[in-house]
Chain A
Amino acid sequence: MPAEDQGRDPCDQDGPESIYGSLRYTNGVESEPKDKDAHFDLLGDLSEHVWKDRGRFLSAYVCESLAFRLLSGLRVSVSVPKGFFFPLGRFFFSSTNLAPEPKRNEPTDAGMSSVRGLVTKKPAEGH
């Protein structure tokens, strides 16, 4: 044992790399996959990543969005019961939960054409 480690708890390792099987290593590997803050960091980074390339990622769902728009249009002509399409339409078109981004460096609208179908304006009050 080196002289500087004399009298030190072998489990108390301050080095950059913890020894496999030590108490510190065990605590680290158990707590790392359960860190709630790391989870939300991951979600934040993923949402940024997806947002940057949203045009490509969401292009597959534009057809789905258009189909629901068509169904919403049929609602008027076929006169189905009021509120029949509401749950689905609310899921795809409502923006009641979608506040605009407050940041100043808003990305350009270049990739938004494919997402536009998913996000619409907030409906007027009283409807």
Chain B
Amino acid sequence: MPGCIGAIDCTHWQWIKCPKAFAGQDHDRNGKRSVVIESVCDEDTNIWHFFIGARGSYNDKNVLASSPLMLDVNAGLWPPRNLSYTINGRTHRLLYYTADQGYPRYPILAMPHPASVTRKLFVYNRLQEAVRNDAERLYAVMPSRLNIVLRPARFPTVERMINTITKVAILHNMAIECTRAGFLAHQRMQAAPGEPADGKGHQADGNASGRDGGRVWDAGGHGFFVNIGPPSAR
């Protein structure tokens, strides 16, 4: 999908020691007290944006509205407007994230079509679901790698939860970099067509990267609470 800069999704982290005063705000749909984590990741599950601290009662739309990511979008700082891509013979300027149905219909979010009445839309929804799955995969990979996220949080304050999950996200990105031996999507993007991206025998594919040829990475990590893009991109 040309112009895609990652997959965005939210998850809940249960908070056992939630004060009773916050019970109403942190009460999620499963009846537990939790805090919402919003993240943007790429196909390697490398985290580019991480936001934790929204109340458990928030849904995806509320979290996005309160997210620092949206503050930058509203201010015109993100996504970068100096990049363009062409789909179906039409040039677009706004890069986009893939998201699920819970998000608002913004052009920076490529969501599944609400009524897939034609084969084209059906096939698009199927592929979009596959690309969107990267964000879901992150919430499986990260807890399995760092077990503290798998368990409910036992911290007395949200600040300590933020502190902990920040470290977890940094460690997760370090693990991704080690797994890929420093070979990340943005390096594939920067390599010229036909040239090895990192001198390790990987072949870059010109204007494309990753699975389906279209991820565009320009600026470095877009983190607010956590600015954890790869060191070479900062």
A residues sitting closer than 8 Å to B (CB atoms) are: 25-26, 28-30, 32-36, 38-51, 54, 57-58, 60-61, 97-101, 115, 118-119
Contacts and interface: CB of A to CB of B under 8 A. Distances in A.
Interface majority SS (helix, strand, loop, mixed), chain A: helix
A46 B107 contact: no
B181 interface: no
Interface in B94-132: 94, 96, 104-111, 113, 115-124, 126-128, 130
A58 B107 contact: no
Contact of A43 (B73, B108, B124): B124
16 contacts: A28-B76, A33-B73, A39-B105, A42-B92, A42-B96, A42-B107, A46-B87, A46-B128, A47-B123, A50-B127, A54-B123, A58-B123, A61-B130, A99-B117, A101-B119, A118-B123
A28 B93 CA distance: 13
Given A51-B124, A61-B130, A39 B117 contact: no
Interface in B143-191: none
Interface in B69-94: 73-76, 87-88, 90, 92, 94
In the A-B complex, list the 5 residue pairs whose CB atoms are closest, starting with the nearest: A29-B76, A47-B124, A38-B107, A45-B88, A48-B88
A43 B106 contact: no
A101 B118 contact: yes
A46 B121 CA distance: 9
The contact size tier of chain B is: 35 or more
Given A33-B94, A47-B124, 5 more contacts: A25-B76, A40-B105, A46-B87, A47-B120, A60-B130
A29 B93 CA distance: 12
Nearest to B121: A47
B124 A50 contact: yes
Contacts of B120: 47-48, 50-51, 101
A57 B127 contact: yes
Given A33-B108, A47-B120, A49-B87, A58 B94 contact: no
B23 interface: no
A35 B130 contact: no
B215 to A, nearest CB: 14
A40 B105 CA distance: 8
A46 B118 contact: no
B112 to A, nearest CB: 9
Given A33-B106, A45-B87, A49-B87, A115 B117 contact: no
A122 B109 CA distance: 32
B2 interface: yes
Contacts of B115: 97
Contacts of B74: 29-30, 33
A103 to B, nearest CB: 9
B214 to A, nearest CB: 9
A114 B124 CA distance: 14
A24 to B, nearest CB: 12
Contacts of B106: 33-36, 39
B107 A39 contact: yes
Contacts of A33: 73-74, 94, 106-108
Contacts of B113: 43, 47
A26 to B, nearest CB: 8
